[in-house]
Amino acid sequence: MKLQLATSFLAIGVLTLTGCGGNTEGKSEAQESAPTTALSTPTTTSEMRTPAPSPSKAEVAAPSTYQVPAPAPAPAPAPAAAPVPAKPQISASQRNAVRSADQYIDMMAFSRSGLIEQLEFEGFSVADATYAVDSLNADWNKQAGLSAEQYLDMMSFSRSGLIEQLEFDGFTRAQAEHGANAAYR
């Protein structure tokens, strides 16, 4: 019963404060535009709040100790890419010597020194002829084998005679033996 009476008084108080349904007669413009609020008071003991406990002296005296985290270490710089070596510039004479060496080696087998001599005979300098032959990256053992086969297609040779002929053409002893062995299989 107490609860119902308190709620009734509260409703009457709200109606009184808000002007009972919006009757604004006799109010000034400032009063009409001003917001109206109803104050509510707790009606039951469960709605009453107890005051918050006051902090202890230790809590009041202790300053806040928030520490700013240390900045993360900067990442290590990426290793610089190694510069790509530029292609060496070759002279017109070297370019022509390379073309000529390539044409010769496509027609027939040559030793390294035999091809350099052939290019010199054509009029290229020793330096240009050597540059051209080395730029071919030829397999000289294979060239010795091809040369041995060409000789055997033209005439008969003993194995030792063929090795001597290949050495005369400028192949090393090892290359000449390799070529003779490849041709006699």
pLDDT tens profile 15-29: 444 444 444 444 444
Q: Which of 67-81, 119-133, 135-149 has the lowest mean pLDDT?
A: 67-81
Measured at the alpha carbon of residue 179, what is the angle toward residues 173 and 182, in degrees to the nearest 5? 140
- Report the distance separating Cα 174 and Cα 185, nearest Å: 17
pLDDT value of residue 180? 96
Is the residue at 167 inside a domain?
yes
Is the residue at 48 inside a domain?
no
Task: Tokens for 38, please give them.
Answer: 């109803």
pLDDT value of residue 155? 95
- The total domain count for the chain is 1
**Taken in order 89, 92, 98, 102, is the CA torsion positive or negative?**
positive
Query: What Cα–Cα distance (Å) separates residue 55 from each residue in 61, 63, 65?
Result: 10, 13, 17
pLDDT at 92 over 90: yes
Q: Whole domain around residue 96: which residue ranges?
A: 92-183
Is the residue at 14 inside a domain?
no
Q: Which amino acid is at 125?
A: S
Place of tokens 């349904």: 21
Task: Tokens for 55, please give them.
Answer: 């902090």
Average pLDDT over residues 133-141: 96
